[in-house]
Structure 1
Amino acid sequence: MLKTSYRKINDLAVNKIEAASHVFVFLEIFAREGGIQSYVKDVFRSYTDKNEAIRAEVFLLRDAANCVNKFESANLRFRYFKTNWPQLDRIRMAAALFLHLLLHRPKHVYCGHVNLASLIGIFCNFLGIPYTVMTHGKEVWQPLPALTVKSLQKATSIWTVSHYTRDQIVNGASKLDARKIKILPCAVNNNYFTPGEKSTALVERYGLKDARVLMTVARLWSGDRYKGVDITIQALPEIAKVFPDVKYLVIGRGDDQPRLASLAADCGVEERVVFAGFVANEELVEHYRLADAYVMPSQEGFGIVYLEAMACGVPVVAGDADGSADPLQNGRLGWRVPHRDVKAVAIACIEILKGDDHRCNGEWLREQVVSHFGIDAFSARLRKQF
């Protein structure tokens, strides 16, 4: 009888731990690199610092089991569903997810992308499990399918990275309750992205000796022209009138590079534009340190690259009608210019290269960024959400 009672108590304890657990569902985290992936990794990093009794299961639709994952731990377990059959992968993940939710009834489900919101909404609403949908930028700036909107409306909360994206969601066709939306801005790994001397080897590799260096880190895909690399190229002739030694280092790869190279030739600045190609994350900090200004007059949901540059003490130029208002603190930390305005980009770059503005003070810039967007600040915000 004692053994039976003990077994029942133990079962209740186990069930309580299971009920207190979380479930995360993402499209892909390790198969590619990008702002969303970086954001999610910061969530994982902060999550593993939490109480070990709180466990989570992570479902990854497009990541395979052989991916490099440094976040696997006793309280953060991953399930991978990528094979050579994408449609079958979705069915397999949906079945495994529903079974897990049915059997374990987690405390909360976190949906990592709006494209998964309808699936999560159907399951969680049927089972009575609260859920949160994470949003980032362009994926929620336009009208969404009716079922997705319904899932967002029924979500317990919605996370987003910037005030701009929040406003786009609230003022769009989704008709969402603004009180449900929690702003959890991106973070920068301030222990990795730090100021430092320019690497002599990289200066020689890219031919940047004695040059004033503008830099952009972006995908060079034809669908991502909004990043503004072409606008910066067109601004170079005007900048060069004031700073004849200026060069533009473009980090990234994609099918739009031939067009950009041709544009540089047409503008007479092909010798000033250096296409570095793909640079791995572990090499990025040395590249940021080459820059005298980070330039990306884009339309971003947030723009983690701005944080990375500023954490390295590099002043930045961003667009003025997007989520970059948050990392730039509405212009307090950097220059915001009209999207696709060549003249405005040229003026901002010239001001930065002159170095008279307090926003060019690398030490002050880093202090501000770490204070608002460092790992500790991010973890503190995240703890309030769980």
Structure 2
Amino acid sequence: MQTINFEKPKSAMTDSLHLWFPNLFEFKGGIQVYLQDVLQAIQELLPNLSVSILDNLDRNKPVDKFNSNNYLFTFSGSFPGFLRTLHFTFNLILKALIHRPNFILCGHINFAPIAFLLHRITGIPYGIIVYGIDAWEIKSIWKIKALYAAEKIISISSYTRDRLINEQNLSPDKIELLPVTFDAERFKLSSKPNYLLERYGLKPNQPVILTVTRLSSDDGYKGYDQIIQALPEIKHYIPDVHYILAGKGDDQPRIEQLIAQLNLQDSVTLTGFVPDRELCDHYNLCDVFAMPSKKEGFGIVYLEALACGKPVLGGNKDGAIDALCHGELGALVNPDDVEEISQILIEILQGVYPNSLMYQPEALRQKVIDTFGFDRFQKTLANHLDGHFKATKNK
């Protein structure tokens, strides 16, 4: 892909990269974790590069993260509402005009129209990271213009890439993949933790289905409703099966009502918030991780569960297709078909699902590390940035 050349003012001849991020630290979601991984990879690949990080929602950063002398953070989160947006936008434009970076990377498509206008004025090339529903069925003419004028679009999954190509008639050559990664040092194989067995009143050999997600009324597409509805059928074949739904959110009262309607109070545990230090233990507590979602951009939770050697079930209508490598690493089901979900979960728990890799914990863990580990993520990102900056780490 050809790099757009432009003249920098003499006062701004140092190579620099501008990163425009929604937030990184004060709220932890899939986008925030992904962008922290991007930042970490850049810090290791290009330790001498001048990097400006403009953060819309955070007020500050943790003292123990990203302390490179070449990193300059600008936070807008201390301002309320409209003033925050104004402060953030003003700094995007002002700093780009003053510093003339080699490249601008938009961490969300909402920022892309500003990058597009700056590109028209200054020639500064830019890229856009796209995730899932943020990039599906785009109607905004300015976002569409920004997509066409971007030097590159980085998608976290082939599913989102393919939707963009089909919906916006974009050239496949414009969109590059940078799949989600995960921390393989945090998520490892282990036996079922005794303290969680005691906490949830479970027996060591009791079959456990696990979902880890936000219980948000805006995230009803995650598929936990379908698992709860599938439980009566699953219990017919596996009477002592237990479903653990880990997470918190405003959807919990509705879920509790559904559990009561199906008389599943003894078969379902809503854990509420699970701290990071207990997350790996929860994966190791289960016998299958299931999240038959249908609007997931990718789903880092699938990778974390696989790294703990657990069989995984995901939906076949979203980015889970990428996370599970089109079924190589796990089971893909129609997320709207409760009968299929129950049948596949029964097969997995009975050990008869026709994918032997799902029952080889060590091999499953190694496969997900080889495919989605941080080293692979870093090498892929280095290739994407190669037209603008030369990475110092071996690729």
Amino acid at match of 1:308: E
Q: Which digits, 9 at most, give the CA deviation of each residue in 1:43-87, with x for residues without a partner?
A: 112111123221211000111026566123223331111124221
Give the Å deviation of 1:125.
Answer: 2.6
**Match of residue 360 from structure 1:** 359
* Cα distance in 1 for residues equivalent to 2:300 and 2:260: 30
* Cα distance in 1 for residues equivalent to 2:342 and 2:72: 48
Taking only the aligned residue pairs, the percentage that are identical comes to 38
* Cα distance in 1 for residues equivalent to 2:32 and 2:61: 17
* Cα distance in 1 for residues equivalent to 2:166 and 2:126: 22
| Matching residue within 203, 207, 210 for 2:201 | 207
Give the Å deviation of 1:292.
Answer: 0.6
Amino acid at match of 1:376: D
* Cα distance in 1 for residues equivalent to 2:89 and 2:67: 22
Contact conserved, 1:72 with 1:78, CA < 8 A, in 2? Answer: no
The yes-or-no answer on 1:383 pairing with 2:378 is no
Give the Å deviation of 1:151.
Answer: 0.9
The yes-or-no answer on 1:260 pairing with 2:276 is no
* Cα distance in 2 for residues equivalent to 1:21 and 1:231: 48
Contact conserved, 1:184 with 1:382, CA < 8 A, in 2? Answer: yes
Amino acid at match of 1:366: R
Contact conserved, 1:31 with 1:67, CA < 8 A, in 2? Answer: no
* Cα distance in 2 for residues equivalent to 1:197 and 1:68: 35
* Cα distance in 1 for residues equivalent to 2:78 and 2:172: 39
**Match of residue 336 from structure 1:** 332
What TM-score results when the alignment is normalised by the length of structure 1?
0.93
Count of aligned positions: 372
**Match of residue 372 from structure 1:** 371
* Structure 2: segments with no counterpart, 5+ residues: 1-8, 386-395
The yes-or-no answer on 1:189 pairing with 2:188 is no
What does 1:95-110 correspond to in 2, within 5 Å?
Answer: 95-110=90-105
Q: Which digits, 9 at most, give the CA deviation of each residue in 1:337-373, with x for residues without a partner?
A: 0012111111111111122441222111111100000
SS of 1:185's equivalent in the other structure is coil
**Match of residue 3 from structure 1:** none
* Cα distance in 2 for residues equivalent to 1:152 and 1:355: 46
| Matching residue within 285, 288, 297 for 1:293 | 288
Q: Which digits, 9 at most, give the CA deviation of each residue in 1:268-291, with x for residues without a partner?
A: 212111001111223211111111
Cα gap change, 1:34/1:68 in structure 2, threshold over 3 Å: closer, same or farther? Answer: farther
Q: Which digits, 9 at most, give the CA deviation of each residue in 1:175-225, with x for residues without a partner?
A: 322211001100111111111122111111122223211000111111211
Give the Å deviation of 1:230.
Answer: 0.7
Cα gap change, 1:66/1:23 in structure 2, threshold over 3 Å: closer, same or farther? Answer: closer
Contact conserved, 1:48 with 1:75, CA < 8 A, in 2? Answer: no
| Matching residue within 20, 24, 34 for 1:25 | 20
Contact conserved, 2:77 with 2:84, CA < 8 A, in 1? Answer: yes
Contact conserved, 2:25 with 2:61, CA < 8 A, in 1? Answer: no
Amino acid at match of 1:73: S
Q: Which digits, 9 at most, give the CA deviation of each residue in 1:16-45, with x for residues without a partner?
A: 32xx21000011121211111111111112
What TM-score results when the alignment is normalised by the length of structure 2?
0.91
The yes-or-no answer on 1:71 pairing with 2:66 is yes
**Match of residue 91 from structure 1:** 86
* Cα distance in 2 for residues equivalent to 1:263 and 1:160: 36
| Matching residue within 315, 321, 325 for 2:317 | 321
**Match of residue 131 from structure 1:** 126
Supply the RMSD in Å over aligned alpha carbons.
1.6
Moved more, 68-77 or 95-104: 68-77
What does 1:171-250 correspond to in 2, within 5 Å?
Answer: 171-172=166-167, 174-210=168-204, 211-250=206-245
* Cα distance in 1 for residues equivalent to 2:255 and 2:130: 31
Contact conserved, 1:30 with 1:69, CA < 8 A, in 2? Answer: no
* Cα distance in 2 for residues equivalent to 1:115 and 1:360: 42
Q: Which digits, 9 at most, give the CA deviation of each residue in 1:79-138, with x for residues without a partner?
A: 111124221112112222222111211110000001111122212331110000000001
Amino acid at match of 1:16: M
**Match of residue 393 from structure 2:** none
SS of 1:216's equivalent in the other structure is strand
Contact conserved, 2:214 with 2:248, CA < 8 A, in 1? Answer: yes
